[in-house]
Amino acid sequence: MTMLATRAVEAEAVTPRRRSRRRKQLIGALYAAPTAFVVGLFFLVPLGLVAWMSLHRWPLLGPPSMNVPDNYTALSDDKLLSTALWFTLKYTVLVTVLLFVISFGLALIVQHRFRGVAILRTAFFLPAAVGFASASLLFLGLLSSEIGPFGSKLPSVSSSPTAALSSAVGLVLWRFAGFNMLILLTGLQAIPTEVYEAARLDGASWWQTFRSITLPLMRTTIALVLTLMVSGSLLAFDQFWILTRGGPDNSTTSLVMVIYRKAFIELDLGSAAAVSVLLLVLLLIVSVVQLRVLRRRS
């Protein structure tokens, strides 16, 4: 009898607690609703639509017709696509390595306070304030033998594949090193100074401190910066569209440029969607592998 009574009391006490938990969940969901709505409308819906389009022959006007798997099978013998895929991967590796080394270097230079540090930080960050398309046009003018300050002293942007690639890489380094430096700098400044002091008392050299303290404690920030760099490079478009037009001889044609060509020049939206899906899968694989590797170690 006593046991039964206790259970009944417990049950009564649980119900309002459950209710309040449910209410809290509801409020939480309401708070998240606007973001979920925006993400759903502008990200998930287009994403689903692209996947759906890639299964169809999709004219600009008029009803689409299902043509599975033609859009995908046609990609296998698309020479421009394989050139662009190979080039985009090569460009991604090149830019990620260079951009990371330079950004980290800049962050280490301006990590501590000293006279003039504010000027340096501003100077390094300033290019990030220029729109990327404007920056590309600026470089186009700067490197032009017709209107640029160097005249024909520099090889023209599209004189050779190397010249075209280096001008685009130069532009990206100039435009993005400061921005990535800023992210890395916040990571550096989040490391407690006590840790460095302890290391110094133990007689650790600069290199030992960097390897055993700075790098391990920076792992999350580095993971973020590398993901940004890799995904940004895989999606490269503006710099090549404006600076090199994908040339010379298709040597700087990126994957997104192939999507653009299929959608707006060939007016073949189905195939363009198929390449977009392919690029999305590539991005997902690269990002998952990258985050797993970096997180596991930490």
Partner 1 sequence: MKRWLGGLAAVTLLVGAAACGGNDDESAGSASADSGATLTLWTRAATESISKAYAAAYNASHKNQVQVTAYPNEEYPAKIASAAGAKALPDLFASDVVFAPQYASQGLWLDITDQFQALPVKDKVAPAHVRNGTWQNRNYAVPHTIDMSVMLYNKDLFKKAGLDPEKPPTNLKEFAADARAVDKLGGDINGTYFGGNCGGCNVFTLWPSVWAAGGDVMNAEGTESTINSKEMSDVFALYKQLFDEGVAAPASKDEAGPTWLGALQNGKIGIAPGPSAWLGLIEEKSSFKLGVAPISGPDGGESTFVGGDAIGIGATSKNAKAAWDFLSWTLGDEAQIEVVAKNKGVPVRTDLATNKYSQSDPRVVEINELMAKGKTPYAKNFNATYNDPQSPWVTAFRGALFGPDPKKSLDDGAAALTASLQK
What residue ranges bind partner 1 (CB under 8 A)? 42-43, 46-47, 49-50, 53, 58-64, 80, 145-146, 156-159, 224, 227-228, 231-232, 235, 245-250, 253, 256-261, 263-269, 272-273, 276, 279-280, 283, 287
Pairing of strands 65-66, 56-57: antiparallel
Among left, alpha and beta (phi > 0; psi -120 to 50; other), residue 62 is left
Whichever of 43 and 206 has its CB closer to partner 1, that residue is 43
Q: Cβ of residue 43: shortest distance to partner 1, in angstroms?
A: 5
| Dihedral Cα 193, 197, 198, 202, nearest 10 deg | 150
Q: Cβ of residue 113: shortest distance to partner 1, in angstroms?
A: 29
Contact 267, 196 (CB under 8 A): no
Q: Cβ of residue 188: shortest distance to partner 1, in angstroms?
A: 20
Whichever of 170 and 232 has its CB closer to partner 1, that residue is 232
Contact 264, 252 (CB under 8 A): no
A 10 A CB-CB count for 117 gives 13
**Biggest alpha carbon–alpha carbon distance for the chain:** 101
Among left, alpha and beta (phi > 0; psi -120 to 50; other), residue 151 is left
Q: Cβ of residue 122: shortest distance to partner 1, in angstroms?
A: 22
Q: Cβ of residue 15: shortest distance to partner 1, in angstroms?
A: 41
Whichever of 27 and 281 has its CB closer to partner 1, that residue is 281
Q: Cβ of residue 219: shortest distance to partner 1, in angstroms?
A: 16
Q: Cβ of residue 49: shortest distance to partner 1, in angstroms?
A: 5
CA angle in degrees (0–180, nearest 5) for 153-157-158: 120
Whichever of 138 and 195 has its CB closer to partner 1, that residue is 138
Whichever of 31 and 264 has its CB closer to partner 1, that residue is 264
Q: Cβ of residue 284: shortest distance to partner 1, in angstroms?
A: 10
